[in-house]
Amino acid sequence: MKHLIDPMDLTKEELDQIIALAEDIIANREKYQEIQAHRKLATLFYEPSTRTRLSFTAAMMELGGNVLGFSDAKSSSVSKGESVQDTVRVVGCFADVIAMRHYIEGAQLYASEVSKVPIINAGDGSHSHPTQTLTDLLTIQRELGRIDGITIGFCGDLRFGRTVHSLIKALSRYKDIRVVLIAPDELKLPDYIKQDVCDRLGIRYREVSSMEEVISELDVLYMTRVQKERFLDQDEFDRVKDSFVLDAAKMSLAKEKMAVLHPLPRVNEILTEVDADPRAAYFRQVENGKFVRMALMTKLIEWKDDPAHAMPAHEIPVTDPSLRCPNPRCICNNEHAPYRFRRSGSGTLRCWYCDAKAK
Ligand code: CP
Strand-pairing partners, residue 208, are 182
> Mind listing the pLDDT tens digit for each residue in 50-59?
999 999 999 9
Measure the CA–CA gap between 109 and 58, rounded to whole angstroms: 25
pLDDT at 205 exceeding the cut of 80: yes
pLDDT, residue 303, reads 97
Say yes or no: 98 and 165 in one domain.
no
Nearest residue to 357 (alpha-carbon basis) of 332, 333, 323: 323
pLDDT, residue 157, reads 93
Separation of CA 17 and ligand 1 centre (Å): 24
Say yes or no: 167 and 272 in one domain.
yes
Average pLDDT over residues 187-198: 92
Say yes or no: 249 and 339 in one domain.
no
pLDDT, residue 227, reads 77
Say yes or no: 48 and 166 in one domain.
no
pLDDT, residue 346, reads 77
> What pTM does this model have?
0.96
pLDDT class for 221, splitting at 50, 70, 90?
Answer: very high
Measure the CA–CA gap between 202 and 169, rounded to whole angstroms: 11
Q: What is the CATH number of the domain that holds 49?
A: 3.40.50.1370
Say yes or no: 69 and 79 in one domain.
yes
Say yes or no: 300 and 229 in one domain.
no
Atom of ligand 1 nearest to the CA of 53: 8
Say yes or no: 257 and 295 in one domain.
no
Segments forming the whole domain that contains residue 350: 316-359
Structurally, how many domains does the chain consist of? Answer: 3
In a domain, 2, yes or no: no
Separation of CA 331 and ligand 1 centre (Å): 21
> How would you classify residue 351: left for phi > 0, otherwise alpha for psi between -120 and 50, otherwise beta?
beta
pLDDT, residue 82, reads 93
Measure the CA–CA gap between 176 and 217, rounded to whole angstroms: 15
pLDDT at 229 exceeding the cut of 80: no
pLDDT, residue 60, reads 98
Say yes or no: 214 and 113 in one domain.
no
Nearest residue to 303 (alpha-carbon basis) of 84, 90, 10: 10
Given a contact cutoff of 8 angstroms between Cβ atoms, the answer to whether 187 and 159 are in contact is yes
Protein residues with CB under 6 Å of any ligand 1 atom: 49-52, 123, 132, 263-265
> Mind listing the pLDDT tens digit for each residue in 9-57?
999 999 999 999 999 999 999 999 999 999 999 999 999 999 999 999 9
pLDDT, residue 230, reads 74
3-state secondary structure the chain: CCCECCHHHCCHHHHHHHHHHHHHHHHCHHHHCCCCCCCEEEEEECCCCCHHHHHHHHHHHHCCCEEEEECCHHHCHHHHCCCHHHHHHHHCCCCCEEEEEECCECHHHHHHCCCCCCEEEEEECCCECHHHHHHHHHHHHHHHCCCCCCEEEEECCCCCCHHHHHHHHHHCCCCCCEEEEECCHHHCCCHHHHHHHHHHHCCEEEEECCCCCCHHHCCEEEECCCCHHHCCCHHHHHHHCCCCCECHHHHCCCCCCCEEECCCCCCCCECHHHCCCCCECHHHHHHHHHHHHHHHHHHHHHHCCCHHHCCCCCCCCECCCCCCCCCCCEHHHCCCCCCCEEECCCCCEEECCCCCECC
Separation of CA 99 and ligand 1 centre (Å): 13
Pocket test for ligand 1, best of 49, 228, 229 (most atoms within 8 A of CB): 49
Nearest residue to 106 (alpha-carbon basis) of 309, 337, 312, 288: 337
In a domain, 1, yes or no: no
Measure the CA–CA gap between 31 and 21, rounded to whole angstroms: 12
> Mind listing the pLDDT tens digit for each residue in 329-349?
999 999 989 999 999 877 899
Separation of CA 129 and ligand 1 centre (Å): 9
pLDDT, residue 232, reads 74
Measure the CA–CA gap between 234 and 232, rounded to whole angstroms: 7
Q: What is the CATH number of the domain that holds 341?
A: 2.30.30
pLDDT, residue 312, reads 86
In a domain, 28, yes or no: yes
pLDDT, residue 305, reads 93
> Mind listing the pLDDT tens digit for each residue in 296-318?
999 999 999 999 999 988 788 99
Atom of ligand 1 nearest to the CA of 264: 1
pLDDT, residue 243, reads 81
In a domain, 357, yes or no: yes
| Minimum CA distance residue for ligand 1 atom 1 | 263
pLDDT, residue 61, reads 98
pLDDT at 219 exceeding the cut of 90: yes
| Minimum CA distance residue for ligand 1 atom 3 | 52
Strand-pairing partners, residue 350, are 342, 357
Summary mean pLDDT of the chain: 95
Atom of ligand 1 nearest to the CA of 101: 8
Q: How many CB atoms lie within 10 A of CB 234?
A: 9
Say yes or no: 135 and 265 in one domain.
yes
In a domain, 39, yes or no: yes
Between 130 and 229, the more confident residue is: 130
Separation of CA 287 and ligand 1 centre (Å): 12
Say yes or no: 304 and 348 in one domain.
no
Average pLDDT over residues 71-76: 89
Say yes or no: 69 and 95 in one domain.
yes
Say yes or no: 332 and 296 in one domain.
no
Task: Give φ, ψ of 351 to 5 degrees.
Answer: -60, 135
In a domain, 99, yes or no: yes
In a domain, 322, yes or no: yes
pLDDT class for 79, splitting at 50, 70, 90?
Answer: confident
